[in-house]
Amino acid sequence: MRVAFVGKGGSGKTTLSALFARYAARRGPVVAIDADINQHLGLALGAAEIPRPLGGMLTEIKDYLRGDNPLIRDAASMVKTTPPGRGSRLVRLGDPFFPSCRVAGVSLMVTGPFGEEDLGVACYHSKVGAVELFLNHLVDGPGEYAVVDMTAGADSFASGLFTRFDLTYLVAEPTRQGVGVYRQYRDHAAGFDVPIAVVGNKVQSPGDVDFLREHVGDALLTWFEHSPAVRALEQGRPFALGDLEPANLRALGALLDRLDRQPKDWDRFGRQAAEFHRRNALTWANRAAGEDLTAQIDPGFVYGPAVAAP
């Protein structure tokens, strides 16, 4: 199951991604992926080292994933939305090709720091493209988790990345800006059948919860209180999940239970992979590649756990 944490900068995406990844690791294998502009997930997990960034190995990743797919001529003609087809290499969580390091019971993968060149809306070389390719070729099942720390920025809407998740957790502080980002995200995602739940953060009073309820309604799944344990972690003190306040631990449980209840929809996934690739090809990628990339869509390919069989 794949879950994204999105929200305004500073809302707590990285903090909650890291806590959730640790927590989910009690139940099954977890890959935590740092795809945020500010690369802090490793720090939040307490990593002593950071693995090789995926953003710096796009060509290798493309060559690996395209495998023997006859519809993809070479790595250069593979863009971030190029979907898998027959002959492509599908990956399982923990595929050793993707550099990761073990920390706090999870495997950490990172896109690498973003530069100016990465912030364009239709950027050919976007580092987040590495994550999109990975997710497009990932065949994951229940009880295993890919946790992605993302921004709520325009990039993921331009490419279709926002549709690559079983569930999206929008982290919102109980402020007008916090709930405003939720509305924007929801409106962008409208019509794409993308399940979104709001996770309140830095809640300090019942009034904060009322505020969130009033503005996001039933979309509010749960909330985290301001956490002295998280603050201590930020100050470099040793941290274990058991140090977390009971209410915040319960909130983690609510996130994991909700994700486990989410049905996998491979059909939507496949449909949207093709749809966004077509869109991407027509808006800019065909021009950039100098060929018709819509021909990469393999109508005979069907996503699903069956294709993952070794």
CB of 230 to Mg ion, least distance (A): 13
HSE at residue 85, side-chain half, CA atoms within 13 A, is 18
What's the min distance (Å) between Cβ of 18 and ligand ADP? 8
For residues 126 and 131, what is the distance between their CA atoms, to the nearest angstrom? 10
If one asks whether residue 9 binds ligand ADP (CB under 6 A), the answer comes out as yes
* 286, burial (CB in 10 Å: exposed 0-12, middle 13-18, buried 19+): middle
Name which of ligand ADP, Mg ion, none residue 127 binds, using a CB cut-off of 5 to 8 Å depending on partner kind.
none
The b/e string for 99-123 (b: 16+ C-beta within 10 A; e otherwise) is bbbebbebbbbbbbebeeebeeeeb
CB nearer Mg ion, residue 118 or residue 140: 118
DSSP assignment, residue 307? G
CB of 162 closer than 8 Å to CB of 154: no
> Which partner in Mg ion, ligand ADP, none is near 226 (CB below 5 to 8 A by kind)?
ligand ADP
Q: Count CA within 13 A, CB hemisphere, residue 198.
A: 26
- The answer to the question of residue 258 lying near ligand ADP (CB under 6 A) is no
Q: How far is the CB of 4 from Mg ion (least distance, A)?
A: 13
The correct pick among 1, 2, 4, 15 for binding ligand ADP (CB under 6 A) is: 15
Size of the site for ligand ADP (CB under 6 A): 18
26 binds ligand ADP (CB under 6 A): no
Question: Of 7 and 85, which has the nearer Cβ to Mg ion?
Answer: 7
- Residue 7 touches which member of Mg ion, ligand ADP, none, C-beta under 5-8 Å by kind: ligand ADP
List the interface residues with ligand ADP, window 160-219 (CB under 6 A): 201-202
Tell me whether residue 231 or residue 250 sits nearer to ligand ADP (CB atom): 231
Exposed, middle or buried, 173 (CB in 10 Å: 0-12/13-18/19+)?
buried
* Interaction residues for Mg ion, span 27-66 (CB under 5 A): 36, 38, 40
Where are any strands of DSSP class E within the chain? 2-7, 30-34, 101-103, 106-110, 145-149, 167-172, 196-203, 220-225
Binding residues (CB under 6 A) for ligand ADP: these are: 7, 9-15, 36, 40, 201-202, 224, 226-227, 230-231, 234
Binding residues (CB under 5 A) for Mg ion: these are: 13-14, 36, 38, 40
